[in-house]
Structure 1
């Protein structure tokens, strides 16, 4: 089954094939900068992919050059001109980051070229980040005279580590993929020619595993990282439910029969 749905007037495109969702930021002529409608579209596209049984998601920029330059500054005079409008804009930002962070399925950010500002925020909210040597990263808020919401900053700190996050935010300087090699931002760094294939293989591997198990595992990881009692309880509930699932029976049977399991998510 191959499905495609456009959001935000085509600025965000969601595609589903073989249970792998592809969420594309589609504004290559502006280095995949996101306007307000596109921030809202990220949330809508994520929900759409999950509703259509995506078991893994790939987040990427269109055009094969840049991931995302972040927010589209050209519209700030209209949609982010003062405190009231900025708070409404940041609510859309935060919802997009949360959609990626809290998606029930793993999200892989495929990173090449520019990954600035809100683009870095989206990447930082993903579960896995895989990039090549062309990556360039920055948090340019200090050069724009604005501040990022705390939830977005929490993702950036978690991805970069406290020390590197402070340097990135306070200086607003650009970093290369090699500069950030020890920061933990990139889960894997591969050669440019191997990036697409590597990401697709990892997404396919995830999608082939038992969906209920993967979902429970993602909640458990989030619970551990956040130290959140409610998430811990939800992880325990989802984990316990796997033992009554058809997929658990299938996994045991396939192991005994020395064949590959076929999971249905039930």
Structure 2
């Protein structure tokens, strides 16, 4: 595992075996997101996106109490005291949210403990979410007179439906992992002691699969989220053609015939 430098000690980054690890590292505040954490998160994601050695990214929280418990409210007086101050905060955080949304590589949220407010927005941007049984989920925006960001509401509604989205947002309640799974907020729940192994198994499997195939799937699902008139079906067809003409497709066929594990290069 290779540790990477970041612009904030509250964000840790490492890579190895095709996996990029992004860790929210403020456990004394349950990994609440500060402005410098947002800044560094965008930088790390941009770096992982451009790194051919990284084929899948896993986000996680440091310690055992939280994935991300929301925004670091202690910074609100300085950085979000009014609309003007919030605009700069939102510019920086918005860039990182864009990097989360536009990352072309698979993105997994590994969740233990609190996943609240802005932390849930981060998790919603992942391709799928795996949580431990002791995790809790909620959005307390209505208790703070905050309007949750549009993209966060859209992603929430796409996962759980409009009724559950309104229930979560209107009430501000915290929901246990089992209820989050029932609503469709997360894709898998695992015992605490198995979380690391389950997530690593998914990440290693994805890292070993064909990058062109995975990228094509991610792009197709992304296009499905657009208005029908705006979907770039020609681009998706081009991705299919590229995959069929690739060295990886030839390698996949050979490996199947030779009954061995394929070695994909993304070309």
* Aligned-partner Cα distance in 1 for 2:253–2:266: 15
Q: What is the 5 A alignment of 1:141-152?
A: 141-152=141-152
Secondary structure in 2 matching 1:86: helix
Structure 1: runs of 5 or more not aligned: none
Q: Does structure 2 retain, via aligned residues, the 8 Å contact 1:219–1:234?
A: no
* Aligned-partner Cα distance in 1 for 2:218–2:127: 9
1:246 aligns with 247
2:25 aligns with 26
Q: Does structure 2 retain, via aligned residues, the 8 Å contact 1:31–1:68?
A: yes
Distance 1:112 1:212, change over 3 A: same
Q: What is the 5 A alignment of 1:127-142?
A: 127-142=127-142
What are the Cα deviations for residues 21-55 of structure 1, in whole angstroms up to 9, with x where unaligned? 11110111110011111112111111112222211
Structure 2: runs of 5 or more not aligned: none
Secondary structure in 2 matching 1:87: helix
Q: Does structure 1 retain, via aligned residues, the 8 Å contact 2:181–2:188?
A: no
* Aligned-partner Cα distance in 2 for 1:129–1:154: 17
Distance 1:155 1:21, change over 3 A: same
Distance 1:40 1:230, change over 3 A: farther
* Aligned-partner Cα distance in 2 for 1:239–1:78: 49
Q: What is the 5 A alignment of 1:1-266?
A: 2-53=1-52, 54-227=54-227, 229-266=230-267
Q: Does structure 2 retain, via aligned residues, the 8 Å contact 1:98–1:125?
A: no
TM-score with structure 2 setting the length: 0.94
Q: Does structure 2 retain, via aligned residues, the 8 Å contact 1:136–1:176?
A: yes
Taking only aligned residues, the RMSD between alpha carbons, in angstroms, comes to 1.6
* Aligned-partner Cα distance in 1 for 2:221–2:173: 31
Q: Does structure 1 retain, via aligned residues, the 8 Å contact 2:181–2:187?
A: no
* Aligned-partner Cα distance in 2 for 1:149–1:33: 17
Q: Does structure 1 retain, via aligned residues, the 8 Å contact 2:112–2:132?
A: yes
Paired positions, count: 265
* Aligned-partner Cα distance in 1 for 2:233–2:93: 26
* Aligned-partner Cα distance in 2 for 1:136–1:48: 30
* Aligned-partner Cα distance in 2 for 1:231–1:64: 42
Distance 1:144 1:172, change over 3 A: same
Secondary structure in 2 matching 1:10: coil
Q: Does structure 1 retain, via aligned residues, the 8 Å contact 2:129–2:188?
A: yes
